């Protein structure tokens, strides 16, 4: 019973309680099943303005042939794809038809964190509406961004319910001739866990500690969908890990992946990869090239060990371990490769060329300020467990870090987790560059907003704070960790 008490402490600190999950997902019904959820629609900006209605609700959907009660935006899974251009104004008339509070976050976008913009402190109660309004800066990088709910305490549950969609900024990268010639596919990766009646399975305590994962792996809401590589042989895949906790270690069965962009837009040059690891929240764009002969390429998710459970498995939880007998409670370390999608190719006599030069990534100046952030699960004697930065759990009324606008800082992210659990670190509003890992310089300069910090690792990132003042957040993108306190408040201030 010790564990129970600890868990209640976590709940009081703002965690989602497991019972909310099932009640919010609707009643099972016995009439023949008809999916009420469709594939995502595309909303593009027109004459400098992107405007749409967006409604969050829960509805039944067919998931790999099974009935599932999921959350969705506008009844679509994944959510509608939004496309805008630098300089555009965005207006989203949002309505919350869930039975719990929510809001919207525009992950990776460099837009203002204040007012009715990318403000994670807003709360939209059930039944209420709010219009989000912001402008995409004229010099915003083109890339693959996304949106999802961000109400502290409900984020993991709502994203696991299916609430996630792409927010594409079109621009420079799309104009490179070789890339323009490629066929474009968007792959949103989501995992789901259903109980016998098609409701999202409520995670047990251990699953919440590790971050909830499901055994149904989907791409664009489908199990193993097929995508054609066009006759020119060049396919551009824009990948988003929209799972709350699952990592994807992607491979095309040893066929090369040509990386062209990361979270925050284009790389300077194409980089050939055999595998690609996407932590929760991360995006990547790759080109895939078909050989001459007809062939099928399977997009696989390879097993990946994200640490954790060592200490806990060693009996740290005392009596509480008695509650953790079932296999669902064990780390969902998948042992076999799983097929996510299949790329089919009919072959061709000639294939389109790969681009060599992409878009130069600027060199940031050496900063004057270096800050250290310790990432860890924290045990307070008699108080149970939480997830923290520098030993502190999230408090919306405190400011953890103050910076000045128009300065550059290095942040040293040190994973001191005693359980050696991976933590993907994410910062809102201002993208950064990874400088080094454990002192080793990062090989390719790239813009990121989420970076994996493995157990025991130290990752140095360089962040320019530009354009926007106000309060925002950084957090672990294992969303259960974020809901359990692994989030800090950043205040970006005017120069004094």
Judged by the rule CB under 5 A, the positions of this chain that interact with Cu ion are 107, 423, 428, 476, 478, 481
Min. distance of Cβ 393 from ligand C2O in angstroms?
16
Residue 423, binding choice from Cu ion, ligand C2O, none, Cβ under 5 to 8 Å by partner class: Cu ion
| Shortest distance (Å) from residue 349 CB to Cu ion | 45
Residue count at the site for ligand C2O (CB under 6 A)? 9
Q: Quick one: DSSP state of residue 19?
A: H
Supply 446's token pair: 């790239």
CB of residue 448 to ligand C2O, shortest distance in Å: 13
Closest by CA to 139, choosing from 492, 493, 466, is 466
Residue 478 binding: pick among Cu ion, ligand C2O, none (C-beta 5-8 Å cut-off by kind): Cu ion
Q: Provide the minimum distance between the beta carbon of 158 and ligand C2O in the complex, in angstroms, as a whole number.
A: 12
CB 125 within 8 A of CB 154: no
Examine residue 448 and tell whether it contacts ligand C2O (CB under 6 A).
Answer: no
Direct distance between the N- and C-terminal alpha carbons of the chain, in angstroms, rounded to an integer? 53
Q: Would you say 281 or 470 has its CB closer to ligand C2O?
A: 281
Tell me which of ligand C2O, Cu ion, none is bound by residue 150, counting a contact when its beta carbon lies within the kind-specific cut-off of 5 to 8 angstroms. ligand C2O
Among residues 285 and 449, whose Cβ is nearest to Cu ion? 449
Nearest to 396 by CA among 13, 96, 100: 13
Close Cβ partners of 484 (under 8 Å, ≥ 6 residues apart):
10, 13, 14, 15, 208, 386, 387, 393
> In the structure encoding, which two tokens stand for residue 18, read together?
């497991």
Rounded CA separation 354/83 (Å): 25
| Footprint (CB under 6 A) of ligand C2O, residues 140-159 | 148, 150
Whose Cβ is closer to ligand C2O: residue 107's or residue 110's? 107
Q: Which of 59, 81, 85, 107 binds ligand C2O (CB under 6 A)?
A: 107
Q: Which residues pair with 52 in a beta bridge?
A: 92
- Among 290, 284, 257, residue whose Cα is nearest residue 271: 257
Token pair listed for 347: 């072959």
Q: Of the two residues 113 and 203, which places its CB atom closer to ligand C2O in the complex?
A: 113
- Rounded CA-CA distance 248/333 in Å is 12
Q: Is 368 exposed, middle or buried (0-12, 13-18, 19+ CB in 10 A)?
A: exposed
Give the residue, chosen from 85, 105, 151, 236, that forms a contact with ligand C2O under the rule CB under 6 A. Answer: 105
Provide the minimum distance between the beta carbon of 323 and ligand C2O in the complex, in angstroms, as a whole number.
31
Residue 281 CB, nearest distance to ligand C2O (Å)? 5
Which residue has the closest beta carbon to ligand C2O?
Answer: 107
Which tokens in the block code for residue 105? 């976050």
Q: Where are the alpha helices (DSSP H) in 103-198?
A: 155-160, 172-175, 177-181
Residue (359 or 490) nearer to ligand C2O, CB: 490
Instruction: List the one residue from 283, 445, 475, 481 that touches ligand C2O (CB under 6 A).
Output: 475
* Region 245-284 residues binding ligand C2O, contact defined as CB under 6 A: 281
What is the C-alpha to C-alpha distance for residues 280 and 156, in angstroms, rounded to an integer?
Answer: 11
- For 85-171, where are the E strands, in sequence order? 89-96, 105-107, 129-135, 143-148, 165-169
Shortest gap between Cβ of 245 and ligand C2O (angstroms)?
Answer: 12
Q: Report the interface residues with ligand C2O, using CB under 6 A.
A: 105, 107, 148, 150, 281, 426, 428, 475, 477
């Amino acid at each position: 019973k010790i564990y129970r008490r600890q868990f209640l402490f976590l709940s009081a600190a703002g965690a989602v309680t497991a019972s909310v999950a099932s009640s919010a997902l609707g009643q099972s019904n016995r009439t023949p099943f008809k999916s009420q959820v469709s594939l995502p629609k595309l909303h593009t900006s027109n004459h400098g303005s992107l405007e749409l209605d967006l409604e969050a609700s829960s509805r039944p959907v067919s998931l790999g042939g099974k009935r599932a009660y999921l959350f969705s935006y506008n009844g679509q899974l994944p959510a509608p794809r939004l496309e805008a251009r630098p300089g555009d104004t965005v207006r989203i008339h949002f309505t919350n038809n869930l039975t719990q509070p929510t809001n919207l976050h525009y992950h990776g976008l460099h837009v203002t964190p204040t007012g009715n913009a990318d403000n994670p402190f807003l709360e939209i109660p059930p039944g209420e509406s709010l219009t989000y309004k912001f402008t995409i800066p004229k010099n915003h990088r083109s890339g693959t961004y996304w949106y999802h709910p961000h109400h502290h305490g409900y984020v993991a549950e709502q994203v696991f319910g299916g609430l996630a969609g792409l927010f594409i900024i079109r621009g420079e990268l799309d104009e490179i001739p070789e890339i323009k010639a490629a066929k474009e596919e968007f792959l949103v990766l989501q995992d789901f866990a259903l109980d016998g009646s098609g409701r999202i399975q409520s995670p047990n305590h251990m699953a919440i500690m590790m971050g909830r994962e499901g055994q149904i792996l989907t791409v664009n809401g489908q199990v193993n969908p097929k995508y054609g590589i066009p006759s020119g042989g060049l396919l551009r895949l824009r990948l988003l890990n929209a799972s709350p906790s699952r990592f994807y270690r992607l491979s095309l069965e040893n066929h090369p992946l040509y990386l062209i962009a990361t979270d925050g837009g284009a790389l300077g040059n194409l980089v050939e990869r055999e595998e690609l690891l996407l932590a929760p929240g991360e995006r990547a764009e790759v080109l895939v090239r078909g050989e001459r002969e007809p062939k099928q390429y399977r997009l696989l998710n390879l097993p990946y060990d994200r640490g954790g459970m060592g200490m806990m498995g060693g009996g740290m939880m005392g009596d509480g371990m008695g509650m953790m007998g079932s296999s669902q409670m064990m780390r969902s370390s998948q042992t076999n490769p799983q097929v996510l999608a299949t790329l089919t190719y009919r072959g061709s006599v000639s294939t389109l060329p790969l681009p060599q030069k992409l878009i130069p990534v600027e060199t940031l100046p050496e900063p004057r300020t270096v800050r250290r952030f310790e990432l860890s699960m924290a045990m307070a004697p008699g108080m149970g467990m939480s997830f923290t930065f520098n030993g502190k759990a999230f408090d919306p009324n405190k400011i953890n870090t103050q910076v000045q606008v128009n300065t550059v800082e290095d942040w040293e992210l040190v994973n001191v987790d005693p359980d050696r659990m991976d933590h993907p670190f994410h910062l809102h509003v201002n993208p950064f560059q990874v400088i080094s890992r454990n002192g080793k310089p990062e090989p390719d300069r790239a813009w990121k907003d989420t970076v994996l910090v493995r157990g025991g690792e130290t990752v140095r990132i360089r962040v320019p704070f530009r354009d926007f003042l106000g309060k925002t957040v950084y957090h672990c993108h294992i969303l259960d960790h974020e809901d359990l306190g692994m989030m800090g408040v950043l205040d970006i201030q005017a120069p004094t």
